[in-house]
Structure 1
Amino acid sequence: MDLSTRFWMVEDAPTPVGPFSHATEQHGWVFLTGQMPTSPDDDNAPLPEGVAAQTTRVMDNLVLVLKGIGLGLEDVVSARIFLTEFKRDYAAMNAVYAAYFPPAKLPARTCIGVTGLARDALVEIDFIAHRQTSAAA
């Protein structure tokens, strides 16, 4: 097992909005940076309108990162969700989020109301995943 930390940048994933890797990995634990509802094809494109559309884009971006490092949603063990309009958007975000996972295999989760997010996004989500075997170097 490779004990060094791996810093992942995924070619097909969106351009990071700050100085960070898409994910880091050590001992099979993978920490995915929070994804924004930005387009992986055009970093300057307007964000989707509404929390449902933004949640879809965020989840799709997280799937791109997972796929780019050889993982899938079935490897996700925990999620953190950040909402700028918690009371207004919680139910709509949940409806989209839940559709990505089998009902009996939902990751542990925390959902937090915040005063602002990068790019004036309504939602940001990060993941912790676990790889059964180490990635090839």
Structure 2
Amino acid sequence: MDDMQQHIMINTKNAPAPFGPYTQAIGVGRKNDIVFVSGQIPICPDTNTMSDNIYDQTYQALLNIKNIIETTGLKINNIVKTTLFIIDLNDLPKINISYKNFFNTYSFYEKITLPARTCVEVSKLPKDAKITIEAIAMHNFL
């Protein structure tokens, strides 16, 4: 098998277990050069609970992504793209504050570069979450 065609399933107990037939993330390349993180709903893995507050839900979904990518040696600054699926676009101002605060908190650079982002309104999400976030992270992106 060619090194560039290798891939590995990534799972951690520090993020919610998948609810269906998928993995938390897939790393591709010789050393998991690119990591594709499945959509993360805002369930706290320690308590298996979810806040009703959109600010907290956004932050928790991002924490779950952080915990997943850290299993491959990546950090928040390695995230190049996120996709947000939300049930109410009117929540976007609160989501944006939470999102920016999260990246400001976990960035190890004084001035952060936020990843590219897409935001889509959907009618329903698993477990009645208000937001789900997926991400792509890359090694050697710092």
Q: TM-score range by the shorter chain?
A: 0.7 to 0.9
Query: Contact conserved, 1:10 with 1:69, CA < 8 A, in 2?
Result: no
Are 1:84 and 2:78 matched, yes or no?
Answer: no
Structure 1 portions without partners, runs of 5+: none
SS at match of 1:97: helix
Are 1:95 and 2:97 matched, yes or no?
Answer: yes
Aligned counterpart in structure 1 of residue 21 of structure 2, from 11, 19, 22: 19
Query: Contact conserved, 2:43 with 2:61, CA < 8 A, in 1?
Result: yes
The alignment yields a C-alpha RMSD, in angstroms, of 1.8
Aligned counterpart in structure 1 of residue 46 of structure 2, from 41, 45, 48: 41
The alignment-based identity, stated in percent, is: 29
Greater Cα offset, 102-111 or 76-85:
102-111
- Deviation, 1:60, is 1.1
SS at match of 1:100: helix
Give me the whole-angstrom Cα distance separating, in 2, the residues matched to 1:104 and 1:6: 29
* 1:63 partner amino acid: K
Aligned counterpart in structure 2 of residue 53 of structure 1, from 51, 56, 62: 56
- Within a 5 Å distance, the mapping from 1:96-111 to structure 2 comes to 96-102=98-104, 104-111=112-119
Alignment match, 1:6: 8
Residues 51-70 of structure 1: CA deviation (Å, up to 9, x unaligned): 11111111111111111221
Give me the whole-angstrom Cα distance separating, in 1, the residues matched to 2:130 and 2:53: 8
Give me the whole-angstrom Cα distance separating, in 2, the residues matched to 1:18 and 1:128: 20
Query: Contact conserved, 1:12 with 1:68, CA < 8 A, in 2?
Result: no
Give me the whole-angstrom Cα distance separating, in 2, the residues matched to 1:48 and 1:2: 42
Query: Contact conserved, 1:29 with 1:131, CA < 8 A, in 2?
Result: yes
TM-score (norm 2): 0.84
Alignment match, 2:121: 113
Residues 7-30 of structure 1: CA deviation (Å, up to 9, x unaligned): 111132211122211110112111
Greater Cα offset, 12-21 or 116-125:
12-21
Residues 80-136 of structure 1: CA deviation (Å, up to 9, x unaligned): 00110112x100000000112256401011000000100000001110011139xxx
Alignment match, 2:72: 69
TM-score (norm 1): 0.87
Give me the whole-angstrom Cα distance separating, in 2, the residues matched to 1:12 and 1:53: 17
Change over 3 Å in CA distance of 1:7–1:91 after alignment to 2: same
